[in-house]
Chains A and B, each alone.
Chain A
Amino acid sequence: MHRTAVALALLSSLAGAQSPGKKTPSVTLAPVAPVSVTRGQAGEVSLHFRVAPGFHINSNTPKSEFLIPTALKMDAPTDIAITKLSYPAGKDMSFPFAPDEPLNVYSGDFTITMLIRPLHTVMPSKYAIRGELKYQACDNAACYPPKKLPLDFEVKVLKGATASGKNPAQSPHAHR
């Protein structure tokens, strides 16, 4: 029965496989390391992305107004602020389709960092932070429509030392 199960699993993977040799652009996110942040303080989170070999995507600051910048849009729970979204500098690269006009791109691995600051009023717990990376990829001879990579990771908010004079029950919006 065990051999049958293995054979089924193998056949299942073959049946679902795409036709070989078809290259499609993709950007993937490496697993995000566990993040713990004390409420009222800021913690840095790094997101490590990888562009599939043979492709490049525009940096966050491409050189032409017509190019689509790589952009990360985050969606955090109320009272967990995300600040200082920091994109790496792109690399100026020339391509066969524009040898005299280098483009500012990301290829291979790149990292976007951000600061996460839970307000004092946030209950200590684990929170899901969601977002999406918008990018538009090209290779040496063609470009591909813009794509969105959904992402999420977990932040553990720690209680830390109680700040004197603060009322935890106070409306979080009072701080804004």
Chain B
Amino acid sequence: MKRNPAALFFVAAVVAAMLFVGFHAARRAGAGGPDSLDPTGKPAPDFTLESLEGKSVTLSAYRGQAVLLNFWATWCGPCKIEMPWFVELQKEYGPQGLEIVGVAMDDASKEEIQKFAKEMGVNYTILLGKEAVGQQYGGVDVLPTTYFIDRDGKIVSREFGLQSRSLFVDNIKKALGQGHPVQAQK
């Protein structure tokens, strides 16, 4: 059967274009979810957010301390399970230089988040999240999402969804053991 070279070239060009577009669309679709590129070893994106107490808190001000950065929401059931763990872990590892920071990715008002945090007995910093900060961290399409950041501000690990307490402890120890301990300048 005789093939028309021009038609074959056209088909090849169309296929190449579709594969290119599809590849980039798939990469974009994966951003922020469990398929996102592994951020381990990269610097944690810096941000400044308002705390429940009305203070401006900048992530990089915790340099020298290990940070457990937890994205959560008042409507997230699995997040509620982790909160009492974080209360205990802040007490246990705070003296060694751990700072737990919760970022509420919520549409709820500040007062509602305050009420929720009070009910949960939260003893760590809660910040009022913004979409832009979520985007810096890849979109935060899954809650809870937790980042473990070492004393130099580098990401040690990232966990999606509810994980075991022992995994948190392992990651906290890893974060505390990496980087240079210096006095935080909050």
Contact = CB atoms under 8 A, between A and B. Distances in A.
A142 to B, nearest CB: 3
Interface stretch (A9-17, A76-84, A117-125): A9-17
B47 interface: no
Interface string A81-119: 000000000000001111000010000000000000000
Given A24-B33, A68-B75, A142 B142 contact: yes
Interface in A1-34: 4, 7-8, 11-12, 14-19, 22, 24
A91 to B, nearest CB: 15
A98 B80 contact: yes
Contacts of B22: 14-17
Given A11-B15, A12-B18, A17-B22, A143 B79 contact: yes
Interface residues of A, number: 30
B176 interface: no
A98 B35 contact: no
Contacts of B79: 143
Contacts of A18: 26, 29-30
B35 A19 contact: yes
Nearest to B25: A16
Given A8-B14, A22-B35, A142-B160, A15 B23 contact: yes
Interface in B108-161: 108, 112, 116, 141-144, 160-161
A142 B144 contact: yes
B105 interface: yes
Interface of B: 7, 11, 14-15, 18-19, 21-23, 25-26, 29-30, 33-35, 73-81, 105, 107-108, 112, 116, 141-144, 160-162
